[in-house]
Structures are given as C-alpha cells and as structure tokens.
Amino acid sequence: MPGSQTGTGTGTSTGTKQLTEADRIRIRALAFDAGYTRSQIRDRTGASVAQVKLALKCQTPVPRSGRPPKDPSNPKRRKRGPRSVPTPALKPARFERGPPGLSAAESMAEWAAAAEAARSGEAAEEAATPEGFQLLVLNPNSSTGMTEGVKKAIELSVTPNGNTISYYTAPEPSPASINDGFGLARSTEVVLADLQAKAAARDAEDAEADGDAGTNSSGSGNHDELDGYDGVLVACFSVHPLVAHLAERHRGRRVVLGILEASVLAALALTNPYPRCPESPGRTWGIVTTGAFWEAHLEDGVRRFLDASYSASFSSSAAGGPNAAKFAGVYTTGLDAGDFHGGVGPEVVRAKLKDATKRLLAFGRVGCVVMGCAGMAGLEDVIRSAIAEEYGEPQTPQEKVYIIDGVKAGVGLLAETIRNERMFGQ
C-alpha cells in the first residue's frame, strides 16, 4: 500500500511513522549493548535503516523535514549531520504578589532574584554533568602485546570520567616494532588503508541494507575512517606521519594527538617555564627511549614541535652550556620497542632502562623524565629506582622528579583538548 512500510523482523513494526522515544532507546540498546548491526536492528524492530541511523546519532527526537530523499548519485549532495534541536528556554516561576507589607517593587525584586537563582542552579548542574567522549587509542604497529600493555596501564591509572576508550592494533603488514623511518612510513600506509577499507565496508553494508528496504537515504561515503570517535591518540612515541595526516584531514570534526606531543606539553607544564630567571634556575626534562635511530629523530621532533630552532635555552649543545638548557636531550637504551614485551629478558630491560635514566639524570637538575616508548608502559618503578639512587629520596616537594608516560598523558590531554575544541570552536 502506498505510504506504508512493513518490517520483516519479529519486533513491533514502526513503518514510516515517527519513532517514539521508547523505539529510539530500544534501537540504541540493540546497537550499543547487544552489538547488533543496522541491518539486524532493522529486521528486529521494523524501522528503516535511515531511522536506525538517526536514532543512533541523535539523543533527542528531530522533526522530519517532509522533503523527499535526495538522489545519492548527485555529486553535489553533501553529507549532513543530525540537525540540532534547540533547548527550550527556561521559564521562570510565575510572579505572585508577596506577603502583606511588601511593596510591588520589593515583591518583583524577590521574584527576579529567585528566578535567577533557579536558572543559575540548573546551569551549574548541567555544567557539572560529565560529558562522555569516544576515544580511540591507535597502536600503529601490529603487536597486540604492546596494545594490551598500553590498555592495562590506562585501566590501572587513568580515570575514565565518563569517556569510553577503545583500542586499535594495526594489521600484520605493519611492522611489529617500529624502529626506523621505514617502519614509520610502512605503518602509516597500512593503517590508512585498513581504516579506509573498514569505512568503505560500512558504506557498502548500509547501501545494501537501504536497497533491501527500498530507500535511497544512505547513499555512499557516509562513513569516514574514524567514524564514531571524538578523539584519536596515536600511541607511537615518534614524529609519526599519522598524527599530521589525520589531524589535518579531520580538523574541526575530531581531535588527533600523538603521545610525543602530549608528553612534551606535560613536561613543559611540570617544569619551570623560565629556566634561567633570577628567582630560580629551574629544572630540565629529558627523554629515555629505545634504539639509536630515535636519538636524533626525537630531538629534532621536539625542536620542530616547539619551533625551537633558534632558542638558546633549548638543548645542552646551545650557547650557555648545560646549566642554561631546559631540554636535557634523548637517551637511548639500545632496545627495540618489542623487547619491552618479551623480546629480551626482564632483567636486561630493567638494567638498560636504568642505565639510560642515570645518564639523563647526570645532566643535572632534571625535574621530569619522559618515557619515550609506548612499550615502556608500567616500568615507572625502574626509572623511580634510578632517580632514588642518583638523587636520593626527595626531602621537599620541590625535589620531586616527575615520570611521564606518554599514553597516560595523551588520554587525559586528548579529552581536555576535545572540550577546548568544542568550547572555542563555537
């Protein structure tokens, strides 16, 4: 019959009617809790795929425009997100005359103050409600062991604050350990191809489902390579090409950050920003990492990130000597990233990591040690023991030496950057 549509599943058929809030809740439960695909939800509930997609995107009902579906073959057709639904204005309490003895002006003033207090209280309550972000920790190498180590470190020490953290490991054509420039380039190529293939598969699935339902609402290209995520953390301590590529490609839609950049920002925040001021000589920070390739790579990366090519206080090689430097440099263990997860014995790992840390601490007045490899997650105790042997136990808070895990720093900074992007991007 024209104007009607019957579902094929066992659930209640909603046809082309506007979905109720109960229908939307059911659809979201099937998708997020039961793991149903859109096609399975369509068969289960009788809703069209377009209605399912809209229910998953919008938390509040959106009125239908009444326009017919646009032709997906039209090249000028642009993908549009869900329309925002304006929040109804808060209505103040109805004005009532106060008790006898109060003038009309005094009663009006009391009423206005009460209404303003009510609005402020509701606004504060809304602001205090934590918003949940969908975060992706992306491991560009193919080592599942490294991904599990990163996941364990995050779960043990990072408070979710309502955020959902997912993990991605590159498929096997990507190297199991990224140890040089070739590994960086190869992992970038593999990850981009894999993400784009998955996005194309989701588009094909939606197109097939819409074709079965007799609609053209899906079209093609509705999914991008990072669909469903608010922010992405590239978990490779390097100037990884994925960071620049994805950050530029997704600018304005989601935040992309690397653990190198997150670590540098954390170290700068935890050390004196003016190391040569008369009030305090300040403290320095440095990086402990894996193989020899990373020594020049990371020092150059930090220099480029801070645009510090001409800074006299950037490194020990600059004018003024070690006492004038803020960045103490990069110190290597001679190991590969995979060695931290079973490549060599744990005694060897601990000994080499401690030796590299002590060489960094010998630079003088080090206030922050950055763990320059995602595979080092969970090895803070080794660095802490080296600090105790070289500097002794801290007697005052000013003597504390911070140990930065780039993955942990990245997760916290990623969520904060998403909030900043939304706050300042209005």
Tens digit of pLDDT at every position of the chain (426 positions)? 444 444 444 444 444 567 877 777 778 777 776 677 888 888 888 888 888 888 887 655 545 555 555 555 555 554 444 444 444 444 445 555 556 666 666 667 777 777 777 766 655 554 444 568 999 999 999 999 889 988 988 888 888 888 999 999 999 999 998 989 999 999 999 999 999 998 888 888 888 877 654 444 434 456 678 888 999 999 999 999 999 999 999 988 899 999 999 999 999 989 876 655 555 667 889 999 988 899 999 999 998 998 765 455 555 444 344 444 688 999 999 888 777 766 678 889 899 999 999 999 998 889 999 999 887 877 899 999 999 999 998 878 888 999 999 999 999 999 999 999 988 876
Verdict on whether the full-model pTM lies above 0.75: no
Spell out the residues 6+ positions from residue 121 whose beta carbon is closer than 8 angstroms to its own: none
Phi, psi of 271 (to 5 degrees): -120, 165
Residue 183 pairs with which residues in a beta bridge? none
pLDDT value at position 16? 56
pLDDT value at position 137? 95
**Cα dihedral 307/309/312/313 (nearest 10):** 50
Tokens describing residue 422: 């939304």
Is the distance from CB of 202 to CB of 39 less than 8 angstroms? Answer: no
Helices (H), 158-274: 181-213, 241-249, 259-270
Give dist(CA 292, CA 21) in Å, integer.
Answer: 59
Q: Of 351, 417, 327, which is closest to residue 133 (Cα–Cα)?
A: 417
- Residue bearing tokens 């590529």: 245
Q: Of 200, 192, 202, which is closest to residue 140 (Cα–Cα)?
A: 192
pLDDT value at position 283? 83
Residue 329 pairs with which residues in a beta bridge? 286
pLDDT value at position 24? 78
Spell out the residues 6+ positions from residue 315 whose beta carbon is closer than 8 angstroms to its own: 299, 303, 325, 327, 328, 329
Tokens describing residue 58: 């919008």
Tokens describing residue 114: 């009460």
Phi, psi of 329 (to 5 degrees): 105, -170
H or E element at residue 166 = strand 164-169
Residue 405 pairs with which residues in a beta bridge? 371
Helices (H), 214-336: 241-249, 259-270, 293-306
pLDDT value at position 6? 43
Burial profile 255-286: b = 16 or more Cβ within 10 angstroms, e = fewer: bbbbbbbbbbbbbeebbbeebeeeeeebbbbb
Q: Of 226, 147, 140, which is closest to residue 185 (Cα–Cα)?
A: 140
Beta-sheet pairing, 231-234 with 164-169: unpaired
CA atoms lying within 13 Å on the CB side of residue 305: 22
Is the distance from CB of 272 to CB of 230 less than 8 angstroms? Answer: no
DSSP state of 176: S
Give dist(CA 247, CA 259) in Å, integer.
Answer: 13
Residue 366 pairs with which residues in a beta bridge? 284
Give dist(CA 256, CA 412) in Å, integer.
Answer: 13
